[in-house]
Amino acid sequence: MKNIKISFVINGKKEEREIPPNISLLKLLRDHLGLTGTKNGCEAGECGACTVLLDGRPVYACLVLAPKVDGKEIITIEGIGEEGKLHAVQKAFLAHGAVQCGFCTPGMILAAKALLDERPNPSRKEIEDAISGNLCRCTGYLQIVKAIEASGKGGKGEV
Amino acid sequence: MPLKGKVGESIPRVDAMDKVLGKALFAADFRMEGLFHMKVLRSDRPHARIRKINTERAARMEGVVRIFTYKDIPGKNLIGIINKDQTVLAEERVRFVGDAVALVVAHSEREAERALGKIQVEYEDLHPIFDPEKSLDSTTLIHEKGNLLYQRDIVRGDVEKGFSDADLSIETIYSTSMLEHTYLEPDAGVAWIDEKGRITVYASTQNPHYDHREIVTSLGIDPSKVRVIQATTGGGFGSKLDITVQCFLALAVYYLRRPIRLVYTREEAYLATAKRHPLIMKYKTGVRQDGKIVAMYVDILGDTGAYGSYGIAVAGRAAVHATGPYHVPHVKVRARMAYTNRPFCGAMRGFGVPQVAFAHESQMDLVAEELGMDPFDIRLLNAFEPGSETATGQILKDSVGIKDCLQRVQEHSKKIKEEKASPGRLSGRGIAAMWYGIGNTGMKNPASARAELNHQGMFALFTGAAEIGQGSDTVLCQIAASEMGIGVEDIRLIRGDTAITPDAGATSASRQTYISGNAVRKAAARLRVMVLENASEFLHVPVKELSIEDALIKSIRDGKTLTTLEEVAARCKHEGKKLIGEGFFDPPTSTLNPETGQGIPYATYAFACHMVDVRVDPTTGEVDVLRVVAAHDVGKAINPTNVVGQIASGVAMGIGQALMEEFAPGQTGSMREYMIPTVKDVPVIIPIIVESPEHTGPFGAKGVGEPALIPTAPAIINAMNRALGVKIVNLPAKLERVMKMVLKGSGAVG
């Protein structure tokens, strides 16, 4: 299969790549761009660990064909904050004990960010809806929901 | 300003920053120049003799570097944490669908995958056994030593006499399903030759030091030539205690001397790794009219599948915990584990105790109902207290918080109104209690740790304890910080690298806070004394008048700062002295008598009680868990937020165990066929931390990882039994089973 050329904006930076046309966005991110913060938990759209934002909407990167992101904007966990300048959701995840093994964390944070971008003060039900496609086996979700609630209300994610 | 992270403070986890940034390096994230990729050929037969493995065609495939079979293993081709019965690569026989037969190393994953299909294995099928009872009667032997892996008996008092004294006895047979851990990160590893020429394996694991031993044995080389580093590990729940990718990778690197990567797909993680043991449990409970339990007879048969893994530990632990947290004078327990040709079962959060808790807590409710007693009252009447004797003859000394847990939950039960049944909606409330021995059963299971103050005055903590998401990194740092008088931010943690960290044993059995916690505390205490002795020399102040607070050396008399850690370190450097404190702890236990099971299996126990409210829609069979009140005696909460995190974690997993999870070999291939709870399945959780200090624990702490799970499922089932007026005896109580119950009305259903 011939490679195709696509261009897209990744974490605010314009990129152009030649890629095989049959790879997933997940593969593009992890293997071609070296953005391994996006996790591969099942590669079948079941676990949500590969959730990223595509034009602001949460998607499972494993289910999106890479050529589909041509001309679009992608945000991954690497693109929303850094030490000293954390996103409110990242801060809240730290403060509320919402991180255990950390494998679902990037996807969970991006699903939460997508919600908060649209609804700055979400209800508990809206939070649950927003992360219902993201599985976590460690936390029982309690502290994740609390963290998202706190990032909505306080705006800063602190306790 | 006082430094952060003392014992009892809910500081953020020390490993969480990298995780929220997506920077934590899981094994599959590891990239190296010139990486080769590996794939594993697995048996598609449940039981067969291997006549021939032909790898010629596969070896000629494009991109293939090399193919490995058992013939390439230079050392012993036999692994297993407790009993060695599993081959790294199958020799003459495969014992389950999923047994590893050959390895392909290629330039890309795709090329490796393609070559797998070209390996020709000639099998001669053997009679497969899928049922543990049939296995014990079968003349077909799955392993040479026979199909019975293990039997544990516990005999206390005179069970016949006990039943003859009973006013009522209740007999029930319970069963549970095979479960899949479904940690979010599929097993993975990368291996290479490090700068010192060592075969280095960076893998997702719960026990790097054990992995090291198995690699050394399978390669037959000097231990110093192998190094295992624990990668950031995305959950384990017991499954990552077994060898997964480690020996495969080490074998290939041994020959190829090149970096190699092996990452399981979710399907492979389901097919090839350990499961939870399904148990069949026959219970007979004898009680007096006043509610006192006088006798208990328990017969447990488990299916360990193709290999032993942790089967012996599960049988032993199930037997010891079979009575529940209750004093029973006359006890007879037999627990057996049989081999079958199903996937091998190993450790999973609780080692058999979640299974027996379902049985003993169902029995408690049946007894209470028969006697017209309140479920709390009957448990309080029989619950352990300091001075109680367990079925193994152990006298419980302190930290017996079961009554506290029951009473705290009971207070909530009075405050929170029970849901009223409405048309089309049935509702019920159930409780369940548990006890759980911390650490391995009746055997040595020590941990070591090392604390160092380097010549710059920087504090470093070395531990082999694997952090798998449960929080040991943070807890161990908090213990060290408190003992040393410094802040957690002053600690550099070096964890899980067999070349430099002392062996801490497995991250299993809820043992790291208690056992490694003690080792860390001792190491830090020794270092503190050493630092103070050195300070005392040049300050000319007696050691007993010095302390370390806020990372400064102060006078106990007036609290004045006398010197700094840096100053002490610099002076020690000058004198060529090293500041290293080593700590070791092995819980005081004794081996159980092989015939009677009498002895001291654990130094301490955690206790808990959960209360659950459910609502059942009888037209659809849908069960809504509305609320879980969960009280846990943890001894001391080193980090209360972490404890709450573990409790919520256990509750969610318990909901899965009660209502949805069941692994059917041959049918459950991926997450699509195996439902685990989503955020929508998790109810309001009210955690209650009970602190009944354990004098042998670090700052009084015990453990909570596995206890958190254990009472949830039995409490849900007890609530459902009430709502529906039935007696559920098989787990999980899936939708279709609940529907059947509703249609059939009451009676034992499953």
Q: Which two tokens stand for residue A151?
A: 């990032």
Which superfamily does A4-79 belong to? Beta-grasp domain (3.10.20.30)
Contact across the interface for B184 and A93, Cβ inside 8 Å = no
DSSP code string of B454-495: -TTS-EEEEE-PPPSSS-HHHHHHHHHHHHHT--GGGEEEEE
Asked if B428 and B524 sit in the same domain, the reply is: no
* A127-154 pLDDT, tens digit each: 999 999 999 999 999 999 999 999 986 5
Residues in chain B: 750
Rounded to whole angstroms, the Cα distance separating B351 from B439 reads 11
CB B172, CB B280: distance < 8 Å:
no
Asked if B556 and B477 sit in the same domain, the reply is: yes
The CATH code of the domain that includes B220 is 3.90.1170.50
Q: Is residue B161 part of a domain?
A: no
Q: Whose CA is closest to B421, among B204, B722, B216?
A: B722
pLDDT score for B416: 94
Does residue A59 register a pLDDT over 70? Answer: yes
DSSP code string of B27-64: GGG---TT-EEEEEEE-SSSSEEEEEEE-HHHHTSTTE
Asked if B280 and B265 sit in the same domain, the reply is: no
CB B478, CB B493: distance < 8 Å:
no
CB B22, CB A76: distance < 8 Å:
yes
pLDDT score for B267: 98
| Nearest-10 Cα torsion for B537, B538, B543, B545 | 150
How far does the CA of residue A146 sit from the closest CA of chain B (Å)? 11
pLDDT score for B737: 84
Contact across the interface for B647 and A140, Cβ inside 8 Å = yes
pLDDT score for B424: 84
The answer for residues whose C-beta is within 8 angstroms of residue B559's C-beta and 6 or more apart is none
The CATH code of the domain that includes B469 is 3.30.365.10
pLDDT score for B421: 79
pLDDT score for B668: 97
pLDDT score for B341: 98
Asked if B570 and B670 sit in the same domain, the reply is: no
Residues in chain A: 159
pLDDT lower than 70: segments of chain B: 1-2, 745-750
Asked if B351 and B331 sit in the same domain, the reply is: yes
Task: For domain A88-153, give the CATH number.
Answer: 1.10.150.120
* B2-44 pLDDT, tens digit each: 678 999 999 999 999 999 999 999 999 999 999 999 999 999 9
Task: Locate the chain A residue with the closest alpha carbon to B706.
Answer: A138
The three-state secondary structure class of A25 is helix
**Which among B235, B254, B272 is the end of a domain?**
B272
A82 residue type, one letter: E
Give the HSE-up count for residue B181: Cα atoms under 13 Å, Cβ half-sphere: 31
Query: Chain A within 8 Å of B650 (Cβ-Cβ)?
Result: yes
Nearest-CB residue to A95 (from B12, B26, B184): B12
Asked if B634 and B602 sit in the same domain, the reply is: yes
What's the Rg (C-alpha) of chain A?
16
Whether the bond between B542 and the residue before it is cis, its omega within 30 degrees of 0, is no
Residue given tokens 């020690």 in the structure block: B572
Q: Is residue B406 part of a domain?
A: no
Q: Which residues of A touch B185 (CB under 8 A)?
A: 39, 41, 101, 103
How far does the CA of residue A88 sit from the closest CA of chain B (Å)? 11
pLDDT score for B2: 65
pLDDT score for A1: 77
Rounded to whole angstroms, the Cα distance separating B592 from B600 reads 7
Beta bridge partners of A60: A51
Contact across the interface for B265 and A135, Cβ inside 8 Å = no
Nearest-CB residue to B24 (from A102, A138, A141): A102
Does residue A34 register a pLDDT over 90? Answer: yes
Q: Which run of H or E residues covers position B159?
A: helix B159-165
pLDDT score for A30: 98
Integer CA distances (angstroms), B595 to B269, B329, B379, B444, B657, in order? 38, 18, 29, 20, 33
Q: Is residue B134 part of a domain?
A: no
Asked if B214 and B293 sit in the same domain, the reply is: no
The answer for residues whose C-beta is within 8 angstroms of residue B375's C-beta and 6 or more apart is B364, B365, B368, B430, B431, B718
Asked if B202 and B241 sit in the same domain, the reply is: yes
CB B625, CB B614: distance < 8 Å:
yes
Asked if B540 and B471 sit in the same domain, the reply is: yes
Query: Chain B within 8 Å of A49 (Cβ-Cβ)?
Result: yes
Nearest-CB residue to A143 (from B24, B648, B676): B648
Asked if B415 and B329 sit in the same domain, the reply is: yes
3-state SS string for B670-735: CHHHCCCCCHHHCCEEEEEEECCCCCCCHHHCCCCCCCCCCCHHHHHHHHHHHHHCCEECECCCCH
pLDDT score for B620: 86
Asked if B211 and B258 sit in the same domain, the reply is: yes
Q: Which two tokens stand for residue B481?
A: 């910080």
* A7-27 pLDDT, tens digit each: 999 999 999 999 999 999 999
Rounded to whole angstroms, the Cα distance separating B352 from B313 reads 8
CB B361, CB B277: distance < 8 Å:
no
Q: Whose CA is closest to B693, among B685, B701, B703?
A: B701
- Looking at this predicted complex, what is its ipTM? 0.97
pLDDT score for B750: 47
Q: Tell me the domain boundaries of chain A.
A: 4-79, 88-153
CA A75 from chain center: how many Å? 7
**Which among B525, B552, B585 is the end of a domain?**
B585
Q: Whose CA is closest to A144, among A114, A117, A124?
A: A124
pLDDT score for A158: 45
Asked if B296 and B432 sit in the same domain, the reply is: yes
The two most distant CA atoms of chain B are separated, in Å, by 84
Q: Which residues of A touch B22 (CB under 8 A)?
A: 35-38, 76-78, 105-106
Assessment of whether the complete model's pTM goes beyond 0.95 = yes
pLDDT score for B422: 84
Q: What is the tally of structural domains in chain B?
A: 3
DSSP code string of A82-150: BTTB--HHHHHHHHTT--SS-SSHHHHHHHHHHHHHH-SS--HHHHHHHHTTS--SSSTTHHHHHHHHH
Can you give the residue range of the structural domain that contains B469?
Answer: 16-23+446-585
**Which among B249, B272, B295 is the end of a domain?**
B272
* B549-585 pLDDT, tens digit each: 999 999 999 999 999 999 999 999 999 999 999 999 9
Beta bridge partners of B124: B49
Q: Is residue B396 part of a domain?
A: no
pLDDT score for A155: 53
